[in-house]
């Protein structure tokens, strides 16, 4: 059946942190691989800093689903201050994946998120990488590096290419370096 191979990803962050950009870069990388995609944000009239969600749906076959992702396969948490304050795991499928920007221990991450169903957790200190590579704590592209390492939903080279196209010049080069570093450092 068409759609059985859909991967639904929900990104969590705050307004102004690049959640929408992360969801779109993931989709652009999938398009290069001839996959079908849908990427969009969910936010209202919130100000910068308010919690927002971004969604990316990727499938090797055409699909017609155009709804918000209520039951993601993967959640990607860009902002660690959301952990323990927002229900990040809502709707996450049994056997799903959590990839978090988190500097603490894995046990601390699991405890703070409080997801009860069986899921797999990964973490990377994306804030540290972003500060060191980009000079500011914007973690969207960093978290894409972790996402592609863990899931292989799209190739690292295609994410780097889509990022460089989105951010030409030195900024793109720095973001690609941050992506590759997170790819190596995620655990």
> Rounded to an integer, what is the distance from CA 98 to the centroid of its chain?
10
Distance in angstroms (rounded) separating the CA atoms of residues 3 and 52: 26
Q: Which pLDDT tens digit goes with each residue over 76-133?
A: 999 999 998 888 999 999 999 999 999 999 999 999 998 888 999 999 999 999 999 9
- Residue 156 pLDDT > 70, yes or no? yes
The strand pairing partners of 146, in sequence order, are none
pLDDT of residue 153: 93
Query: Which of 3-7, 60-64, 137-141 shows the lowest mean pLDDT across its residues?
Result: 3-7
pLDDT of residue 46: 58
Contact 97, 30 (CB under 8 A): no
- Residue 71 pLDDT > 90, yes or no? yes
pLDDT of residue 51: 86
Q: Where are the domains of the chain?
A: 7-185
pLDDT of residue 123: 97
CA 144 to each of CA 26, 79, 85, 96, 180: distance values in angstroms, whole numbers, following the listed order: 7, 13, 23, 17, 9
Q: How confident is the model at residue 65 (pLDDT cuts 50, 70, 90)?
A: confident
pLDDT of residue 43: 64
Q: Does domain 7-185 have CATH number 3.40.920.10?
A: yes
pLDDT of residue 3: 46
pLDDT of residue 26: 94
pLDDT of residue 4: 67
Average pLDDT over residues 150-169: 94
Whole-model pTM: value is 0.92
The angle formed by the CA atoms of residues 124, 100 and 125, to the nearest 5 degrees, is: 25
Distance in angstroms (rounded) separating the CA atoms of residues 26 and 153: 9
Q: Which pLDDT tens digit goes with each residue over 23-64?
A: 999 999 999 999 999 888 876 655 667 888 999 999 999 988
pLDDT of residue 78: 96
């Amino acid at each position: 059946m068409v759609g059985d191979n859909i991967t639904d990803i929900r990104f969590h962050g705050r307004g102004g942190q690049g959640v929408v950009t992360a969801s779109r870069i993931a989709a652009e990388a999938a398009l290069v691989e001839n996959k079908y995609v849908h990427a969009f944000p969910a936010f209202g009239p919130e100000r910068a800093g308010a919690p927002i969600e971004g969604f990316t749906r990727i499938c090797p076959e055409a699909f017609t689903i155009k709804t918000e992702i209520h039951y993601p396969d993967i959640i990607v948490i860009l902002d660690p201050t959301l952990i323990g304050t927002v229900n990040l795991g809502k709707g996450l499928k049994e056997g799903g994946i959590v990839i978090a920007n988190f500097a603490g221990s894995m046990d601390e991450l699991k405890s703070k998120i409080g997801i009860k169903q069986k899921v797999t957790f990964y973490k990377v200190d994306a804030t540290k990488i972003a500060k060191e590579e980009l000079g500011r704590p914007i973690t969207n592209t960093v978290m894409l590096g972790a996402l592609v390492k863990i899931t292989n939903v799209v190739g690292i080279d295609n994410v780097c290419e889509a990022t460089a196209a989105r951010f030409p010049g030195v900024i793109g080069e720095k973001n690609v370096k941050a992506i590759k570093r997170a790819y190596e450092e995620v655990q």
